Amino acid sequence: MGKVTSNSDILFLYDAKLCNPNGDPDDENKPRMDYERSINLVSDVRLKRYIRDYFQWKGLEIFVAKQDDKAVTATDRIKELLKSDKIKGLSAEQMEDLLNRLIDVRLFGATMPLKSEEGKGSSSTFTGPVQFNWGYSLNKTRIVDSSGITSHFSSESAMEQGTMGKDYRVYYSLIAFHGIVSAKRGEKTLLKQNDLELLDEAMLKAIPLMATRSKIGQYPRLYLRVEYTDEFTFLGDLRSCLSISPDNDTLRDIKELSLNVKSLCGQLVENKEKIKTVYCWRDSLLKLDGVGEHNNLSAFLTGAGLNVKVLSL
């Protein structure tokens, strides 16, 4: 339960097969795409929502949550948490209590506004120690050619046929995220080592468990959290050290590709004096190049002198 005293870089890969990883509300809820590069995009907000939902599923308190399955304002959410309808400001004790209770604020930060009946108010803002870039697919991908679907029920009782709709999905996308953990910012949100252990757990379990009709078909494939020895070190976006083969839009399954991690391993080994622990998990279906004939990333890094902790589902 000790506090976090060192930074981490996070690398997370999951794939999406015949589903919609992140619909764009400004484009008919189609999967977010960089059409010029045929790259599938996923926002950091979508990833954080998976994690928050997983925490809530485990019975942990979160700040960004609905009340009785209905959306509420941040002010109403604070009133609900503090069991009070009359709150003009948060005392230091109340703020500490909220931080100790709300794991998503300790990880991702939040703005906590308080409005009075006269419309005036104040807010407390916490910048989250855990931040993610937008995710993007390492492979070229495209949207399924046919997207029309028919509902069994008609929109009007007098209509005999069901209603028509659109259901946009990608054929296959291997999505990569980069994230960081800032120990300095963690001091402000009371971030604990146990929070990072729960984050590691959520990164591996949340997406399959929180599947909906449009999201089923997504599974984690690789996770690394590189914990450094101090609060100053970051190696940067580790996705730049990865390459995929073949790199075309004909991929349809994890078994049809291999991921080259030679540059990634070289970056970690080169900086091993700055690295305290590499938390590592790899799905057995993901074929890796650059780690020897046994396809074992954790064993390769351990053999190169790094301290590796293998995570499990």
Q: What is the DSSP track for 98-138?
A: HHHH-HHHHHHEEEEEEE-TTS-EEEEEEE-SEEEPPEEES
pLDDT at residue 149 above 70?
no
Distance CA 60, CA 53 (A): 10
CB 239 within 8 A of CB 11: yes
pLDDT in tens, 171-182: 999 999 999 999
% of the chain at pLDDT higher than 90: 74
pLDDT at residue 155 above 60?
no
Q: Are strands 148-150 and 164-166 parallel, antiparallel or unpaired?
A: antiparallel
pLDDT at residue 213 above 60?
yes
CB 14 within 8 A of CB 220: yes
- What are the tokens at 83? 């069991």
Say which amino acid occupies 147.
Answer: S
Q: What is the pLDDT of residue 151?
A: 61
Q: What is the pLDDT of residue 154?
A: 57
Q: What is the pLDDT of residue 204?
A: 98
Q: What is the pLDDT of residue 42?
A: 98
pLDDT at residue 214 above 90?
yes
More confident position, 248 or 243: 243
Q: What is the pLDDT of residue 190?
A: 96
Average pLDDT over residues 5-25: 97
Q: What is the pLDDT of residue 153?
A: 59
pLDDT band at residue 125 under the 50/70/90 scheme: confident
Average pLDDT over residues 229-247: 97
pLDDT band at residue 161 under the 50/70/90 scheme: low
Q: What is the pLDDT of residue 124?
A: 79
- What are the tokens at 213? 């009709």
pLDDT in tens, 42-86: 999 999 999 999 999 999 999 988 766 677 788 788 888 888 777
CB 180 within 8 A of CB 8: yes
CB 214 within 8 A of CB 46: no
pLDDT at residue 87 above 60?
yes
Intra-chain end-to-end CA distance of the chain, in Å: 22
Q: What is the mean pLDDT of the chain?
A: 91
Q: What is the pLDDT of residue 64?
A: 87
pLDDT at residue 150 above 80?
no
Instruction: Output the DSSP codes for 36-90.
Output: TTTEEEE-HHHHHHHHHHHHHHTT---SS--BTTB---HHHHHHHHHT-S--SS-
CB 218 within 8 A of CB 19: yes
